Amino acid sequence: MVVVLHPPTHPPPPMHKLLARVSTTHVKLTLYIESNRNLIMKFTAKHLEKLAKKAEKDSEKEQAKVKKALQQKNVECARVYAENAIRKKNEGLNWLRMASRVDAVASKVQTAVTMKGVTKNMASVTKALDKALGSMDLQKVSAVMDKFETQVQNLDVHTSVMEGSMSSATTLTTPQEQVDSLIHQIAEESGLEVMDQLSQLPAGASSLGGEASSKQDKEDQLSRRWYALLRMRVLTSALGPSVPEGRPLRRQCC
């Protein structure tokens, strides 16, 4: 019996198409892994926060034991319970700090994933801009520039959201007046004087917020100037010698 092997009816795809498919699959797989890693870090931060709450409850229980031991005139047991309360309190603070750091790292990872997606979209916009410039079509150039500005605006929105999340996880965002009020309340309940200590504290988050807002305004102004210069440069290069000197550039209408 003779087996005849027929050649395939469809030729294999070119090598550059295969490489493009492999590259696209690799990018999607990388984004999927990083997204899952981000979720794992978020769950880890939640678990650390639960451990911090548990340590705080244990510290309160030890403080209750201290009060009971003092009522029974048992100073030695009160010292042991006080040491346990302080240790549990410090343990809870350490868990809380670690949860804040993990959450900040998760926010940075999410920012990186978003940046990769936006960078890919901007690369496609750049290719479309090259084609539009090659055809010397002002309508296509204007449409591509509008799409480019939309992508950059989306990137600014994602970046501002992620920066706000990271700043809330790593810096003090509670108003300084509320913090001082809480300290005064606890001091009055405990019979302590903290006015001298409060007067020596550095400025709160308000000054940091002012510096951050002024810096953001400067960056926005620079971005708007850069977009305007880029649009003018693209339109000028697209028109080139076809526009007589002395006549203003006019955008074509549909």
pLDDT of the chain, 254 residues: tens digit per residue: 555 555 555 555 565 565 556 556 655 666 566 667 777 778 888 888 899 999 999 988 888 888 788 778 787 888 888 888 888 888 888 888 888 888 887 777 777 777 766 666 666 666 666 666 666 566 766 776 677 667 666 666 666 665 565 555 444 444 556 555 655 565 566 555 544 555 554 444 444 445 555 656 666 666 666 666 666 665 555 555 444 444 444 444 44
For residue 67, the model assigns a pLDDT of 79
- Cα 219 from Cα 221, distance rounded (Å): 5
CA angle 30, 32, 36 (to 5 degrees): 120
For residue 108, the model assigns a pLDDT of 76
- Own/partner pairs, 76-81, CB within 8 angstroms, 24+ separation: none
Phi/psi at 11 (nearest 5 deg)? -70, 150
Alpha carbon separation from 35 to 102, 109, 163, 165 (Å, rounded): 15, 8, 18, 17
| Residue whose C-alpha is closest to residue 148's, from 223, 69, 58, 87 | 223
**The amino acid at 18:** L
Neighbouring C-alpha atoms within 13 Å toward the C-beta of 36: 5
Start-to-end CA distance of the chain, whole Å, equals 69
| Residue whose C-alpha is closest to residue 101's, from 42, 30, 58 | 42
Q: Note whether 204 and 176 are within 8 A (CB).
A: yes
**The amino acid at 245:** E
- Cα 127 from Cα 217, distance rounded (Å): 31
For residue 173, the model assigns a pLDDT of 44
Residue 76, token pair as written in the block: 């030695």
Owner of token pair 């001298």: 196
Q: Indicate if the alpha-carbon torsion angle 127, 133, 135, 140 is positive or negative.
A: positive
Note if the pTM is more than 0.95. no
For residue 157, the model assigns a pLDDT of 65
For residue 171, the model assigns a pLDDT of 47
